[in-house]
A and B are shown apart, each in its own frame.
Chain A
């Protein structure tokens, strides 16, 4: 009896020491990512307000639409998305490879370099030096330091993976390792081809369209999916519903993902097969999305009450629903010949649905997974529990309503705008009038997300200051009242939260 207890205790000590070794880098990525998310949301509100009220802040050249919108996207993708992903990757890879982080200082420095590059890049965009290439808007000086910073952040996860103990490689590790390798491949090759080598501008447009899609499908989606495969079984305490299916899902993504992208250039003077190949791959993306989504939702469905009570599972399950919606949107928006709707691919090409689709992937799926991870990880690495379950549920409710609006915009607003644009007998104003209510809806959705993130950021900042509850009981979103406002307190933490499990 004493031997398993001892190994269990050793295991808990190892986990606690891994968490402690990663405390500063992971908290840095999560908090600075959250700060960038706030910046991105403010810029998003400004830019989407300009779509329906063009005179809003029109006098300031730094805040014209052509600068604010790319700055908004850059802050969202590189400030929030990438940094949240880095925090998720380095924490989960260390945990699954059972290795302490031995280069926390280097990771922190690299994180600061990344932040400095993104800051200068966003200032450059607002100052008028943006490149105008979608998702590669930052002035060309920014990408080299960003890549070097990435190497300084991710290389240690690769080392940990390489020297992991013998045995099974869990599906999350496949996803994370793939994302860690794919990101530099996509990032470097695209930036070299667009900013480095010169050459045909049309080729550069194609590369940037592919980059845009690959960053979503080959970085944010695998990181989010990898985390989901960890969080859902971990928190619900149930095994993955069909484990072999999860590996099929991973390889399906690896095979399908790289081909998508050129569908954004349908009708451009490219070889005709490229956009249709891209559309085909984007439609096929529904398969890995459905496999991961359904597999994990079936897993979570066996633990219904936990899903409701655990903040992590709430966000994760909502994010998985987002993944299913994303797969469905990929099929719908990229279909060249859909019954009842016709050529939706051509119709929605120059509409708000492309932006809505990005936000579906980046917010409804990836960011929800990032929030779920943060609600899981931060108590473990700070050894403090979340302060208020009400802040968490407010964050959740406002986020869900915000992204719900974005789904409507992506699927219906884009279609309405496209119908107006395709009707060449009518003046262009007709298309603008059709899009107008949905543009207002975008602004409202961003305002909801702003409110939700006020709750989130406040909470995270308090945790960062280590002002969380000293308790070994997790924060659960339960309604019942106890003597303590936070539910029955466990032991006041001094042995670490891992002592019990």
Chain B
């Protein structure tokens, strides 16, 4: 160690030398910035190129601000309020408001308590629908029969070409359900059918449920195919009216039916 180097004065000088070296670069930057006027938006090429965008943005901002400020829309009557001024009021109203009963099934949130209550509600009386059925012996309209025959091409896949049934669908020919209340048939079209079912005294269980085929079809189409089924394969029953189908549209979206949900047709069931 050399005392000549390590003396208080040398340390003092070294301290200021160190400070100078450490801050030199920052100082140079600061001086350059101050000489340039300290204004970040001096007229550089970039700013000149961007000026149009900035102007457009300013115009948009001002227009939006004008539309969001207090304004008398109609003298002495209506005032337009800026959103932030009514947030509190809207919030209070929301908090103090009570839920409104929803009538339209389409507005019910699936899976909600309301939907569950709706599904579990006792079925209505479908007597009014069944009462509209034309009297026995009424001949079906041939045009409707033809339309139903076309539509039956889909049903055929499970119920058989002649309504004889198969491994995935019960027979329609001679079925007591087909000849029974019309409301049963329409509701099956709207909601589908799952679980075991007794047809003419015999119990059937299928791997897959009957899908709600009618939900996506028009009232006329559903009525036509049901009329066709009721008057083919040896069946004979009064036709189904499109009005009857329309009255039961509200069934769409409810859980699938089981045999217990239907109006019974056979005493031995």
Report which residue of B6, B17, B40 has the largest number of chain A beta carbons within 10 angstroms of its beta carbon.
B6
Binds B, one of A181-189, A281-289, A383-391: A181-189
* B107 CB within 8 Å of chain A: no
- Which residue from chain A places its CB closest to the CB of B27 in the assembled complex? A188
A89 → chain B, closest Cβ, in Å?
13
* B70 CB within 8 Å of chain A: no
Q: Which residues of B sit under 8 angstroms from A98, Cβ to Cβ?
A: 1
Q: Is the CB of B25 within 8 A of A185?
A: yes
Tell whether A200 pairs with B30 under 8 Å between CB atoms, given A164-B5, A184-B25: no
B218 → chain A, closest Cβ, in Å?
39
Q: Which residues of B sit under 8 angstroms from A159, Cβ to Cβ?
A: 11, 14-15, 18
Using a CB-CB cutoff of 8 Å, which residues 88-122 of chain B contact chain A?
none
- Chain A contact patch, size range: 20 to 34
* B85 CB within 8 Å of chain A: no
What separation, in Å, do the CA atoms of A197 and B21 have in the docked complex? Answer: 22
Tell whether A155 pairs with B19 under 8 Å between CB atoms, given A163-B10, A188-B25, A197-B33: yes
- Chain B contact patch, size range: 20 to 34
Return the CB mask of A188-204 against B: 1 if under 8 Å, else 0. 11001100011110100
* B44 CB within 8 Å of chain A: yes
Q: Is the CB of B21 within 8 A of A158?
A: yes
Indicate which residue in B2, B18, B40, B44 contacts A158 across the interface (CB closer than 8 Å).
Answer: B18
Q: Is the CB of A151 within 8 A of B29?
A: no
Tell whether A198 pairs with B40 under 8 Å between CB atoms, given A154-B22, A155-B19, A159-B14: yes
* B268 CB within 8 Å of chain A: no
* B46 CB within 8 Å of chain A: yes
Indicate which residue in A163, A184, A185, A202 contacts B14 across the interface (CB closer than 8 Å).
Answer: A163
* A99 CB within 8 Å of chain B: yes
* B26 CB within 8 Å of chain A: yes
* B78 CB within 8 Å of chain A: no
Report which residue of A14, A166, A180, A197 has the largest number of chain B beta carbons within 10 angstroms of its beta carbon.
A197
Q: Which residues of B sit under 8 angstroms from A181, Cβ to Cβ?
A: 21-22
* B64 CB within 8 Å of chain A: no
Tell whether A189 pairs with B40 under 8 Å between CB atoms, given A99-B6, A200-B46: no
Return the CB mask of B143-159 against A: 1 if under 8 Å, else 0. 00000000000000000
Q: Which residues of A sit under 8 angstroms from B13, Cβ to Cβ?
A: 162
Using a CB-CB cutoff of 8 Å, which residues 20-78 of chain B contact chain A?
21-26, 29-30, 33, 38, 40-41, 44, 46-47
Q: Is the CB of A162 within 8 A of B14?
A: yes
* A105 CB within 8 Å of chain B: no
| In the complex, the 7 A-B pairs of residues with the closest C-beta atoms, listed nearest first | A158-B18, A162-B14, A198-B40, A188-B26, A185-B25, A199-B40, A159-B14
Task: Write 15 A-B pairs (CB below 8 A) sorted by A numbering.
Answer: A150-B22, A155-B15, A158-B18, A159-B15, A163-B10, A163-B14, A184-B22, A184-B23, A185-B24, A185-B26, A188-B26, A189-B26, A189-B29, A192-B26, A200-B46
Beyond contacts A184-B25, A189-B25, A197-B33: 16 other A-B pairs, Cβ-Cβ < 8 A, are: A159-B14, A162-B10, A162-B14, A162-B18, A163-B5, A165-B1, A165-B2, A165-B5, A166-B2, A181-B22, A185-B24, A192-B26, A192-B30, A198-B41, A200-B46, A200-B47
Q: Which B residues contact A (CB, under 8 angstroms)?
A: 1-2, 5-6, 10-11, 13-15, 17-19, 21-26, 29-30, 33, 38, 40-41, 44, 46-47
